[in-house]
Each structure stands twice: as structure tokens, then as C-alpha cells.
Amino acid sequence: MEVNNKGVFEIIPAIDLIDGKCVRLTQGDYSQKTIYNENPIEVAKEFEAAGFSRLHLVDLDGAKAGAVKNWKVLEGIASQTNLIIDFGGGIKTKEDVDIVFASGAKFATVGSIAVKDKATFVSWLTSYGADKFLLGADVKEEMIAIGGWLETTHINIYDFIEDYLQLGVQQIFCTDVSKDGKLEGPATDLYKKILEKTPDLHLIASGGVAIIDDVYQLKEVGCKGVIIGKAIYENRISLKDLASFN
């Protein structure tokens, strides 16, 4: 399935969930939590009304527990909007994947399992189709980081991407963990290097976006989209400015 037309750059707003509420963490730290809205369905409707077609939905309870938890919120958003939702956090088993798709997600977002248990993830790619997954790569100094970013592996980002592209994965979003939630600008140089090595990659930027110029830069280097959370919730970037990319 073609995710978007060549040349199209997508703004993908993010909703992170804890206890069914819309929150944000700083650098993945659960103790640095800000609650932005008690009703994520309302937030999703606002994004749709502003002209966005996609939503990045993250189950932080699920990520912590190692099993999908906030699928009811996913179900609510999917049934009350037409947003194309990718949902991740705690997807560890085939049952989790089934719940995510049954609850209305278009894509299942996976990260650490693709690093820790490649055989299982590859079996999902075969069962469901590689185009049903959005692969997340958390990076620290060009190496893959897992386990809530506490553990850095010996796998470099370039090999990781190349490996999964060969297996049919179409979309990858990449987060430089030193940037996430800090509103200090995205990892534009890293994305540039990734795209030099894999120019056909459908690369989605994630983390660090603070001002509208950051978004223009990411488009300029060849990213196909950007996931934005904190900058929207803290009114650093207006939905109106972002809607101009649609």
C-alpha cells in the first residue's frame, strides 16, 4: 500500500496515553509527565478538524507493562474520526497485534521487539504484511537504543534500516533520544545521513521539533513526514501553520 504520494510531506500529530489521558514525557521519563487533556478523543477530533489525516497514538501504560493497555481509547478515536492511526506501546505478542488492528489502527507501531526478537517481528511481517507496520528506531549516537532508551545496543541505525527495508518494511520513524521532548530542534543531520544511504526510504522524523522552521528543514532534507507532540501542546507551533503542509 502506498502511504503517500511522492513529494507529499505529512504532519503526524502525536497523542501519548497514560491512564487514558493525553500526556507528554520528557526523554521517555515517566516522572517528567505533563497531562495536557483528560479526553484524547477530543484532541484527535481537533486534529482532524484542523485538516490532518494521520495520528500517532502511543500507549505509554502498555510500553511500561509490556502489553497493550489503552486499546479502548484507540477504538474510540477510530470510531469517531476518519484519522489514519498508527498505534504502538506494549505490542509484544500476536494477540497484541490482533487487538491493535481489531480496535481500528491502520498501522501497528513496533520498536524494541524488532531489535530484541527479530524472528517474532519477521513472522508478523509475513502474517499481516510488511505494509501494516510502522517501525520505530530510537537512536543514541547513531546506535539503536531500547528499553525506554536506557539501553544502547551495538546495532547502528544504518544497518538496522537496511535490514528491515530488505524485509519489506516501508515506513520507519526515527527518534534521536537526546532530542525528544526538549524542544531544542530535530536531528536533521542524522536524517540527512540516513537518507543519503537509503534515498528511497519513507523516513518520518520524530522528536525535538520546536518551531515551524524545523518542519521546513525536515521537508527540505527529504523526510516524508514528521511526528509532532509537545510543540503543538505547548503552543510553540499552531495547527493552522502546520495545516499549510496538508
Write out the catalytic residue numbers: 16, 138
Q: Which three cell numbers stand for residue 74?
A: 484507540
Q: State the Cα–Cα distance between residues 26 and 16, nearest whole angstrom.
A: 12
Distances (CA, A) of 213 to 70, 188, 217, 222: 33, 12, 6, 15
Closest CA relative to residue 160, chosen from 142, 141, 180: 142
Residue 48 φ/ψ region, left for φ over 0, alpha for ψ in the -120 to 50 degree band, beta for the rest? alpha
Q: Which three cell numbers stand for residue 89?
A: 506501546
Q: State the Cα–Cα distance between residues 148 and 39, nearest whole angstrom.
A: 25
Q: Which three cell numbers stand for residue 162?
A: 537496511
Written as one string, the DSSP assignment of 85-127 is EEEESS--SHHHHHHHHHTT-SEEEE-HHHHH-HHHHHHHHHH
